[in-house]
Amino acid sequence: MMEEENVIRPHQEIAQLSLEEKKFLLAVERGDVASTRRMLQKAEDSSYININCVDPLGRSALLMAIDNENLEMVELLIEYRVETKDALLHAISEEFVEAVEVLLDHEETIHKKGELHVGDIVLYEYEAFRCGCDECVTSRMEDSLRHSRSRINAYRALASPSLIALSSKDPILTAFELSWELRRLSFMEHEFRGEYQELRKQCQDFATALLDHTRSSYELEVLLNHDPTGPAFEHGDRMHLNRLKLAIKLRQKKFVAHSNVQQLLASIWYEGLPGFRRKNMVLQALEIVRIGILFPFFSIAYIVAPHSVIGQTMRKPFIKFICHSASYFTFLFMLILASQRQLFFNGGDEEVIIQRGAKPTLVEWIILAYVSGLIWSEIKQLWDVGLEEYVRDMWNVIDFITNSLYVATVALRVVSYYEVTQSPEVMPRKDWDDWDPMLISEGLFSAANIF
């Protein structure tokens, strides 16, 4: 009870203001810069008023100046070191951009190590959500609504386009990360999911709107290839599209689906086939078939002379896609031949081929070459993206299982061949052991084909 009696209510604040403090707040409210400056100078010398006093509505002089959008008054109050407190968030809420910029500059100058900076609020709120200390637990237990609303208000300020544009060195990256964080919070706090989703949409719209300001393909290339940890992108460099890949990873669908991005991707995709999109479907189909049939020659040319004209042609995305598709269809065709025992390459002597420890047929040698290439491709991908990123994609896990089954098949065929060389006795298939390596290898091969 004693603590409640000592609390100063907003309606009691007016009674505690001195006459000079009331004049000070009135001068700020009216925008009288000259009178306010004289009062601040006198207060600096004699401290005859509290320059951080508030009116009955709980507004300080700085908040009044922001409400009136009086930039000169804001700069004057900051010059005389009036406490800013939540003035920055209030300026963001009022969309007073000039005041936001001034307050950010001021905050950078007074920010000290160990103090909470506005840029640390996301991390602070995220940690506070999971914090199990007595203070945070007590706060949630005493007033969970206030605890949740304070977090939402903090993120509402952080999601403001004005704050992101003025405070971040990389606004698009900030919008992406904040959007992903808001998505995570929407799943954690189901009761406020609508509000978090709305803020997430606001961040996505901000990042997408920045694409409308690109005036040329070069500017768009620089934006989509920007890598904070790497060198700056130059026209003519190979496009890795790091920023676009990040957008896909963080599920920024509007950013990826933007017309400017799609136009650039289309120009990259059909590079090397001028006029392809303007052809009718029949001519397009003929062109695709022609490239698909020639894929062995393109592949050999790329291996032998990668910097030649044909070798460089193989680097074009659409042509590479057609060649890879044709190659994979050939691989599937070889698997069908091996599964159906179409062994005409060995004179059609099926009885010899299905014996224990039989040597590989030509079809199986081709399959082995394909599997070696697939394994090498997966190893390269694992090296490029790292183990953690590689495992996140379930398709990579499926590819790993498939390749492992093929490797196990080859290993068991080798074991079977070794056993037959040690004991060359011919045994009918019906008399083979249930766990014969040849039988197991055939089962694993079938399982690999299913994957």
Is 198 part of any domain? Answer: yes
Is 298 part of any domain? Answer: no
- Give yes or no: residues 73 and 150 share one domain: no
3-state secondary structure of 303: helix
- Sign of the CA dihedral running 256, 257, 261, 265: positive
Is 71 part of any domain? Answer: yes
Query: End of a domain among 94, 110, 126?
Result: 110
Query: End of a domain among 220, 247, 268?
Result: 268
3-state secondary structure of 54: strand
Is 126 part of any domain? Answer: no
Q: What pLDDT is attached to residue 355?
A: 66
- Give yes or no: residues 364 and 434 share one domain: yes
Is 332 part of any domain? Answer: no
Is 44 part of any domain? Answer: yes
- In a 10 Å sphere around its CB, with 0-12 CB exposed, 13-18 middle and 19+ buried, how is residue 276 labelled? middle
- Give yes or no: residues 257 and 176 share one domain: yes
- Give yes or no: residues 169 and 219 share one domain: yes
Q: Give the phi and the psi of residue 54 in degrees, each rounded to 5.
A: -125, 155
Which of 112, 21, 7, 104 has its CA nearest to residue 60?
21
- Sign of the CA dihedral running 178, 179, 180, 186: positive
- Give yes or no: residues 89 and 157 share one domain: no
Neighbours of 4 (CB within 10 A): 7
- Give yes or no: residues 238 and 189 share one domain: yes
- Give yes or no: residues 176 and 234 share one domain: yes
- Give yes or no: residues 153 and 252 share one domain: yes
Give the distance between the most distant pair of CA atoms in the chain: 115
CB 106 within 8 A of CB 84: yes
Domain count, the chain: 3
Residue-wise pLDDT for 358-400, tens only, equals: 777 788 888 888 888 889 988 988 888 888 888 888 888 888 9
Q: What pLDDT is attached to residue 109?
A: 75
Query: End of a domain among 206, 237, 268?
Result: 268
Q: What is the DSSP letter of 14?
A: H
Q: What pLDDT is attached to residue 133?
A: 56
Both tokens of 403, joined, read: 């390749």
Average pLDDT, consecutive stretches of 10 residues, N- to C-terminus, the chain (451 residues): 41 64 89 89 84 85 89 89 82 80 79 47 47 58 70 80 80 90 86 88 90 87 83 76 88 90 88 82 90 88 84 85 90 83 49 63 85 89 85 86 89 83 72 79 83 71
Question: pTM of whole model > 0.85?
Answer: no
For position 42, which CATH number holds? 1.25.40.20
- Give yes or no: residues 63 and 163 share one domain: no
Q: What pLDDT is attached to residue 98?
A: 85
- Give yes or no: residues 186 and 263 share one domain: yes
- Give yes or no: residues 145 and 264 share one domain: yes
CB 132 within 8 A of CB 61: no
Domain that holds residue 423: 353-450
Is 317 part of any domain? Answer: no
Is 214 part of any domain? Answer: yes
- Give yes or no: residues 80 and 157 share one domain: no
CB 145 within 8 A of CB 151: no
